[in-house]
Amino acid sequence: MSSSAELSPQHVAAYLAGKAIAAAQAFLDGRSDAEAMAKAVDQLYGELLAVGDSVGCNALLDPTRLLAVTMMRTARVADLQQQRWRCVMVALADLVRSEARALREDNANGPRWSRPNTESDIMRGARAC
């Protein structure tokens, strides 16, 4: 991402998370194949490495990195293993979405440790697998 120097760390993290979710969702919905996902995630992972660690954004960047690694693995496994990896992708995509929402809310409402926890998309997604 060439304009990352102009964006805040939160915007860069949200942008990369969005790219990861879009590529994962396209594969999960059947709009792209494993080869297309592998190509997208190779570029994404390079961008994630270039960003490094960012205080305040690692809560979003870390699950995005995990999703990217899971996408790489899913693209390279045999069909029999792919269903298990797809379930992991669903759960991590939900986690990335949840962390992106939390980062937005933190910026607007203060830190999330001051808010009560509720059942999230993550748990609903995990039960679907």
Instruction: Give me the amino acid identity at 69.
Output: V
Rg of the chain on CA atoms, in Å: 15
Question: What's the CA gap between 87 and 41, in Å, rounded?
Answer: 18
Where are the chain's structural domains? 8-128
Condensed to tens digits (0 to 9), the pLDDT of residues 23-64 reads 999 999 999 999 999 999 999 999 999 988 876 789 999 999
Chain centre to alpha carbon of residue 119 = 19
Q: Give the predicted TM-score (pTM) of the model.
A: 0.79
Point out the least confidently predicted range of 74-78, 83-87, 93-97, 114-118: 114-118
Mean pLDDT value across residues 61-69: 96
What pLDDT shows up at residue 108?
Answer: 66
Longest dimension (CA), the chain: 45
